[in-house]
Amino acid sequence: MKPAKPISLTRYLIEEQHAGRINADLRLLIEVVARACKTISMSVGKGALGGVLGDAGTGNIQGEAQKKLDVIANDVLLEANAWGGHLAGLASEEMDHSQPIPDAFQRGNYLLLFDPLDGSSNIDVNISVGTIFSVLRCPDGVTSPGDEHFLQPGTTQVCAGYTTYGPSTMLVLTVGHGTHAFTLDREVGSFIMTARDIQIPADTKEFAINMSNQRHWEPPMQRYVADLLAGKDGPRGKDFNMRWVASMVADVHRILTRGGVFFYPLDAKCRDKGGKLRLMYEANPMSFIVEQAGGAASTGRQRMLEVQPTGLHQRVPVMLGSRNEVAEAVRYHAEHD
Q: How buried is 57 (Cβ within 10 angstroms: 0-12 exposed, 13-18 middle, 19+ buried)?
A: exposed
DSSP 3-state of 32: helix
Shortest Cβ distance from residue 139 to ligand AHG (Å)?
27
User: Residues 103, 105, 109, 115: is their CA dihedral positive or negative?
Assistant: negative
Shortest Cβ distance from residue 315 to Mn ion (Å)?
11
Are 300 and 224 in contact by the 8 Å Cβ rule? The answer is no
For 5, 124, 138, the CA distances from 298, given in Å and listed in that order, are 33, 31, 25
Residue 327 binds which of Mn ion, ligand AHG, none (CB < 5-8 A, kind-dependent) = none
Nearest to 123 by CA among 167, 170, 164, 69: 69
Shortest Cβ distance from residue 59 to ligand AHG (Å)?
12
Shortest Cβ distance from residue 82 to Mn ion (Å)?
20
Which amino acid type is present at position 135? V
Q: Which is nearer to Mn ion, 77 or 228 (CB)?
A: 77
Q: Which is nearer to ligand AHG, 182 or 281 (CB)?
A: 281
Residue 247 binds which of ligand AHG, Mn ion, none (CB < 5-8 A, kind-dependent) = ligand AHG
HSE (side-chain half, CA atoms, 13 Å) at 140 = 0
Shortest Cβ distance from residue 210 to ligand AHG (Å)?
4
Closest-approach residue to ligand AHG (CB):
248
The answer on whether 210 is annotated among ligand-binding residues is yes
For the sheet with 206-208, list strands across it: 241-242, 206-208, 261-264, 318-321, 296-298
Q: Helical H runs in the chain? A: 9-18, 24-46, 68-82, 219-229, 248-258, 284-292, 323-336
Nearest to 246 by CA among 124, 126, 121: 121
Residue 325 binds which of Mn ion, ligand AHG, none (CB < 5-8 A, kind-dependent) = none
Residue 308 binds which of Mn ion, ligand AHG, none (CB < 5-8 A, kind-dependent) = none
The answer on whether 227 is annotated among ligand-binding residues is no
Contact residues for ligand AHG, defined by CB under 6 A: 64, 93, 115, 118-121, 210, 246-248, 264
Contact residues for Mn ion, defined by CB under 5 A: 64, 93, 115, 117-118
Q: Which is nearer to ligand AHG, 126 or 210 (CB)?
A: 210
Q: Which is nearer to ligand AHG, 164 or 247 (CB)?
A: 247
Binding residues: 93, 115, 117-121, 210, 276, 282
Binding residues for substrate: 118-121, 210, 276
